[in-house]
Amino acid sequence: MALILYAGKVNKNSYKIRITADYAGVKLELAPNFEMGVTNKTPEFIKMNPIGKIPVLQTPDGPIFESNAISRYVARLKADNSLYGSSLIDYGRIEQWIDFATLEVDANIIYWLKGRMGNAPYLPPGEEAAISALKRALAALNLHLASNTYLVGHSITLADIILTCNLILGFIKLMTKSFTSEFPHVERYFWTLVNQPNFKKTLGEVKQADSVLPVPSTRKPAQPKEPAKPKANDPKKEAKKEPVKPKEAGEEEEEAPKPKPKNPLDLLPPSKMILDEWKRLYSNTKTNFREVAIKGFWDMYDPEGYSLWFCDYKYNEENTVSFVTLNKVGGFLQRMDLARKYAFGKMLVIGSEPPFKVKGLWLFRGQEVPQFVIDECYDMELYEWKKVDISDEAQKERVNQMIEDQEPFEGEALLDAKCFK
């Protein structure tokens, strides 16, 4: 008996199984005349999967449902492939990345997508949380792929197949180039995989989204009412009319949805400093940086509405590999994206040989490091934070040097300088 896959042709969970079969050299057939919403409601299908979901694989030994389980089964059917690596540690790491692909990537993309497609209520706070969690996952993945072509070892494994298929809906429906450009190693990885012959055979041409799916409209256009026809008064019907029941104590009309609470920083008194103006000045100044940008910064700076902070990485002794240190700083800046409206930052990686030092300067709205940033960005606790005393000329000059990327900085060469703006 051949392996029969019950699934739609255009379905990312079907993709992963079919691509796995091609890599494993396993013959797989799609169920003929399968119709979603019809075939999967039949008693015969319900016997294979009691909750009626696809995909389901019919095997000589009985059915299997759940796409990851089916993919694992197919990958193991022939022992002469490398889809599960070549050692026990490879096996463990492949399973690790399959879980990551499912729990950290797929779950957040699906949540984001369902609200946009109208398959679930659109809840902005939930969407924001899903996007934030997805960015955190992609940042971790980006760091791993900075020094690895594939997730495990030096060839495509089952983990790569499942992760790539889980990323597809994100790339084609939600994640525009401006979104994914923050994760260049993930981009390189994804486009490399989807253009492999065994992937392309199933996926065809994959095109990245030009824009995020719009939020679905929930308002229905009001239907014009027909004018009521005048009726003769009927004393009997008038008598039958019940008086309007007065509203009992405690009985209230349904409340309108409460507006999303504002960020506490938006409730601060207005500041004379316009952060976007400073960011434009910084970006557009190409010459005479001290005379133009630095002077402009201090002319704009509002010490009542903003505060300056130095940060120093606590574990510089661990920074023994240059590209890993640079990726660490890059990941931190990606995770700080939630503060873009309220912050400007410079991060310096210092030293010509390891261990490298990481130091930073941050401008924040308000007089403290924002609590929502501390709560959401786990990197914050990896740094020592010290508020800048601008009455101290030495500290003020240090601010100038960090904004300017002065080299040498504190007597050492700069490996790199990154800006958050």
Give the model's pLDDT for residue 233: 54
Residue 263 falls inside a structural domain: no
Domain total for the chain? 3
pLDDT of 81 higher than 90: no
pLDDT tens digits, residue range 287-298?
A: 899 999 999 999
Q: How confident is the model at residue 303 (pLDDT cuts 50, 70, 90)?
A: very high
pLDDT of 252 higher than 90: no
3-state SS, the chain, equals: CCEEEECCCCCHHHHHHHHHHHHHCCCEEECCCCCCCCHHHCHHHHHHCCCCCCCEEEECCEEEECHHHHHHHHHHCCCCCCCCCCCHHHHHHHHHHHHHHHHHHHHHHHHHHHHHHCCCCCCHHHHHHHHHHHHHHHHHHHHHHCCCCCCCCCCCCHHHHHHHHHHHHHHHHHCCHHHHCCCHHHHHHHHHHHCCHHHHHHHCCCCCCCCCCCCCCCCCCCCCCCCCCCCCCCHHHHHHCCCCCCCCCCCCCCCCCCCCCCCHHHHCCCCCCCHHHHHHHHHHCCCCHHHHHHHHHHHHCCCCCEEEEEEEECCHHHCCCHHHHHHHHHHHHHHHHHHHHHEEEEEEEECCCCCCEEEEEEEEECCCCCHHHHHHCHHHHHEEEEECCCCCHHHHHHHHHHHHCCCCECCECEEEEEEEC
For position 121, which CATH number holds?
A: 1.20.1050.10
Give the model's pLDDT for residue 256: 53
What range defines the domain where residue 174 resides?
103-203
Of 24, 59, 76, which residue sits at a domain end? 76
Give the model's pLDDT for residue 258: 57
* Same structural domain, 161 and 198: yes
For position 397, which CATH number holds?
A: 3.30.70.1010
Of 38, 57, 76, which residue sits at a domain end? 76
pLDDT tens digits, residue range 6-40?
A: 988 788 999 999 999 999 999 999 998 888 889 88
pLDDT tens digits, residue range 181-212?
A: 999 999 999 999 999 999 999 999 999 999 99
Residue 228 falls inside a structural domain: no
pLDDT tens digits, residue range 328-343?
A: 898 899 889 889 999 9
Q: How confident is the model at residue 79 (pLDDT cuts 50, 70, 90)?
A: confident
Of 24, 57, 76, which residue sits at a domain end? 76
pLDDT of 242 higher than 60: no
* Same structural domain, 279 and 410: yes
pLDDT tens digits, residue range 263-284?
A: 899 999 999 999 999 999 999 9
Q: How confident is the model at residue 142 (pLDDT cuts 50, 70, 90)?
A: very high
Give the model's pLDDT for residue 220: 41
- pTM of the entire predicted model: 0.54
